[in-house]
Structure 1
């Protein structure tokens, strides 16, 4: 019976620089690419943000970050068009270009 140590036998031959590069490469693979939105989707997000702000109703935002896609629910306190962000009542600032879906909670 062959008692092979598998990968263990090769790690001793790897340079620390190679190990570092492999770890960085693995971290890059875990990043999530930003979804592409078409004009209709952007318009729907805009309409839902305006409606939620004017009616002070709860809204569910799906937000992209490099580590993943998150869902945030809250009431819009402020919309800053010049700096392009939405501020929720819990003082969270969300940039417009990170929002990829806005759903009104009714």
Structure 2
């Protein structure tokens, strides 16, 4: 099987100025969080309410530092004054801004 190394295979043929130029070019592309529709926002709200009221494990995907980060845990409290969720994970307690949440899913064991 042929192993393709992607752009690495061309790096030896490029001049240092070209490599620096490519790095600068890639820095210009910063991802933006996608706009959620009203239905998606409503579904996220219902999932969070259900997980909080029943104290179920939930998987949240949030936008942070130009990338999607996933957290799994139990919602301890919802602070409406600061618009934050307090998520109790296995290792620590995490504050998650509500406006950064991109999706929410209950863990698979609880759908039955």
- TM class by shorter chain equals 0.7 to 0.9
Query: Secondary structure of the residue that 1:92 maps to in structure 2?
Result: strand
Query: Matched residues in 2 for 1:61 and 1:22: separation?
Result: 34
Query: Matched residues in 2 for 1:102 and 1:7: separation?
Result: 44
Q: Which runs of 5+ in 2 are unaligned?
A: 1-12
Structure 1 position 68 matched with structure 2 position 70: no
TM-score by length of 1: 0.74
Aligned to 2:102: 100
| TM-superposition CA deviations, 1:9-51 (whole Å, max 9, x none) | x83xxxxxxx6x875552231x321011011111111111111
Query: Matched residues in 2 for 1:87 and 1:28: separation?
Result: 34
Q: How does 1:25-44 map to 2 (within 5 A)?
A: 25-29=25-29, 31-44=30-43
Q: Which runs of 5+ in 1 are unaligned?
A: 1-5, 12-18
Relative contact order higher in (CA < 8 Å, ≥ 6 apart): 1
Query: Matched residues in 2 for 1:41 and 1:74: separation?
Result: 21
Deviation at 1:79, TM superposition (A): 0.5
| TM-superposition CA deviations, 1:59-90 (whole Å, max 9, x none) | 01111123311221100011011111111113
RMSD (Å), alpha carbons: 2.3
Aligned length: 93
